[in-house]
Structure 1
Amino acid sequence: MSINLRSHPMRPIRAACLGTATALVALLAWAPVAPANATDSHSAHAKPKNSRVITLTGRLAQQTRFPVNSSGPSQGDRTVFRSTLHDATGNQVGETGGSCTTTRVADGGAEACFVTYVLPGGQLSVQGMVFGVVPGPPASFDNAITGGTGEFDRARGSVHVGPIVNGARTFTIYLK
């Protein structure tokens, strides 16, 4: 499914929520694991020793918006989403779901997002603020890994999220 946000009839904050949702739900599509000492020119994050780096993609499958009022973007607007997760060859490997709440409409806008990823081996939790969501989805952003289950038990680290390309985003997950 390809999403063209520029021609989409949603109001600007809704387009921003769609972009943010697409970004966050794509976080954990399994792809080859790079060595811990690999370099990443897209992130300012230094990789600590004994870290695991995973590059991922994903696509939005379902989304529902809950606006506070009909007069335009407002603090408290919420979007709830689900996404299928795919590896580098396009095989579906998991599913994710979460929600984002608008915390600021002025000065580029901001959302607080909470997402859970159901993956082979366990679940992973990610959360954080996303800035620059008005008038459209942010070009890129970073969020925190706050925990997990199974293989991801007590996971920590961060996620660098790249821009939307052809309806999907590329993510670099830094697990400590």
Structure 2
Amino acid sequence: MSIDLRSTTMRPIRAACLGTATALVALLSCAPVAAAAATDPHPAHDKGKHRVITLTGELRKQSFLPVNRKGPAAQGDRTVFNSELFDENHESVGETNGTCTTTWVGEVAQDSAEVCVVTYTLQGGQLSVQGMVFGHLVPGPPPSFDNGITGGTGEFDRARGSVHAETIGMGKRRFTIDLYL
């Protein structure tokens, strides 16, 4: 009995090569689509609506929850707050509620840092915002900061962008919301 080794070994190799070639063609045909998608750094920004909303916040209530009741500022100190939001005509349009937790107390007050999570409740929905605030232990007016919009509800569903906050008076801040929907 004789066995033809060429026919039994060539068939699996040919099938494997054909399968590899098919996979390579499929991979290469998808490459331009993947490359095009990867070159668009802000696809939602280009396809959605862009709005800038400027509001004034007036602090209504603020509580401090220190780690060291009678000692210096420490990692883990928290601030909880609520502010009323007004439009350019000083009409009430919503509120902010949030908490900030001290994450770093440096050698000098300017080196301090806290992470804040805030919800802006406006007519039409809510915006979720979070980010870092630096220098919050410096005496005087709180420093300006920029935080990122992480999402929203209602008309702010899938919102992205940022919020710039600057102190404009005792217990007053101007919020510039750069919003992409």
Whether TM-score is above 0.5 comes out as yes
Distance 1:166 1:76 in 2: 25
Letter in 1 for 2:124: G
Distance 1:76 1:68 in 2: 6
Q: C-alpha displacement at 1:157, in angstroms?
A: 0.3
Q: 1:138-149 counterparts in 2 under 5 A? A: 138-149=142-153
Distance 2:94 2:157 in 1: 17
Matched, 1:62 2:61: yes
Partner of 1:155: 159
RMSD: 1.6
Distance 2:78 2:115 in 1: 10
Q: C-alpha displacement at 1:139, in angstroms?
A: 2.9
Partner of 2:132: 129
Partner of 1:28: none
Query: Given the two structures, how large is their TM-score scaled by the length of structure 2?
Result: 0.66
Distance 1:170 1:65 in 2: 22
Question: Comparing both chains, which one has the higher relative contact order based on Cα–Cα distances under 8 Å and sequence gaps of 6 or more?
Answer: 1
Q: Which has the larger radius of gyration?
A: 2
Query: Given the two structures, how large is their TM-score scaled by the length of structure 1?
Result: 0.68
Partner of 1:89: 89
Partner of 2:71: 71
Contact 2:163 2:177 in 1 (8 A): yes
Matched residue SS, 1:135: coil
The number of aligned residues is 129
Q: Percent identity?
A: 62
Q: 1:155-174 counterparts in 2 under 5 A? A: 155-174=159-178
Contact 2:54 2:87 in 1 (8 A): no
Q: C-alpha displacement at 1:141, in angstroms?
A: 1.3
Distance 2:120 2:161 in 1: 15
Matched residue SS, 2:155: helix
Q: 1:66 and 1:166, CA in 2 relative to 1: closer, same or farther beyond 3 A?
A: closer
Q: 1:108-123 counterparts in 2 under 5 A? A: 108=110, 109-123=112-126
Distance 1:135 1:142 in 2: 17
Cα distance per residue 1:144-175 (max 9 Å; x no partner): 00000001001000111223335311121111
**Contiguous gaps of at least 5 residues in structure 2:** 1-44
Partner of 2:28: none
Cα distance per residue 1:112-151 (max 9 Å; x no partner): 0001121110111010001111223543111000000001
